[in-house]
Structure 1
Amino acid sequence: MTGLFVTFEGVDGVGKTTQAALLEQWLRDAGREVVRTREPGGTEVGERIRDIVLHHRGHVDPRAEALLYAADRAHHIATVVQPALERGGVVIQDRYLDSSVAYQGAGRVLDADDVRRLSLWATEGLLPDVTVLLDLDEADARRRLDADDKPFDRLEAEKADFHARVRAAFLRLAEAEPERFLVVDAAQPVEWIAELVRVRVTERLA
């Protein structure tokens, strides 16, 4: 059995949680071990970091924010993701290092290469086998978030130009690594998207 690392990326509101849940169920029905997790979070340490980076009411310096995400990622990969992959499991993860490059690099206007190098060092170079980028115009994504009627976290509450930079950064990342990324129009029907994801995952499992 070969382990597989699948991540879901995109601006907030594109449907990552929905698609991750559908993929998880499909794989479990096929008899695969699945570990579904998220960043920040996924461990007790990670949940504490998540509370700081997403819900802290005061200012967090952008470099400190990037370091906190990297700290969460290092612990998460070492204690959750890598052991699951070594067992032959499929890890389905909501966000990974591409989010740091997009949000802290482009969104916070830090050096994207520095942010990526930091994450690669933290994870000993681990990259996903498949990264599903659910792409949606940031204004449409914001309307979805508004419809949920939930309080925004620190990143969701950022202005439109922040989210436009983040979306553009995700698309540049996908263009640079087409063999890893599957870019999907998140405005399409949920089941249509899920089928595209299943096809790509099946190809990589084979």
Structure 2
Amino acid sequence: MTKKTYSGFTQKTSENLLLDAGAFFVNYEIDTDTFESAVTAGKLLGATRGGGQFNATPEIRTIEVDGVKGKAKGLQVIDAWDVSLSANVLEVTKEGLARALVASEVDDKTNEKYDIIKAKNYIELTDYIDNITWVGKKSGTLEPVIIQVYNVINISGLGLQTQDKNEAVIAMTFTGHYDADELDNPPFEIYYPKSTPTKPQEPTEP
């Protein structure tokens, strides 16, 4: 009697894999941007080492009812969403340092040799970034998976560790926030490509 192998592996498995670390963009426009045009426009957050992570965690509250001795189906409500997109950024740029500081301003006039990045003690609406977007490769399709988090600020602050024979990496965690005009929509969207062939199909003869 042979033992049966139980596995989730199917013929479709190779078409549903997220590959590699992907890339992170600032203010990526779904309707007009492509990966190439966004790179050309300077929207890259920067090269990364160690990739990043997306989290969308609902805060769920169970309504308690007398006589029900546990959690009952249908009595859960979502009180809030905690949404974030983190990236381990290898490139240390002026813009990256300013974003990491959450609330900051750049003085490019006082000093002839240096731009001066200054932190602020308050957060203004202009400190929020419209979106941070992850674009990554999915097997089985020509189109990427795109994850956007909206109205973000980096809540992890700025930490720089330097050492010999290594490069500094800035860990940024961008947290999404509700917009006053979009209170019914959690501040993120996932664009998952429809199934398309990985190679262009040859035209059929009439």
TM range, normalised to the smaller chain? under 0.3
Structure with higher strand content: 2
**Looking at CA atoms only, which structure, 1 or 2, has the larger radius of gyration?**
2
TM-score w.r.t. the length of structure 2 is: 0.23
Structure number with the bigger relative contact order (C-alpha 8 A, sep ≥ 6) is: 1
Structure with higher helix content: 1
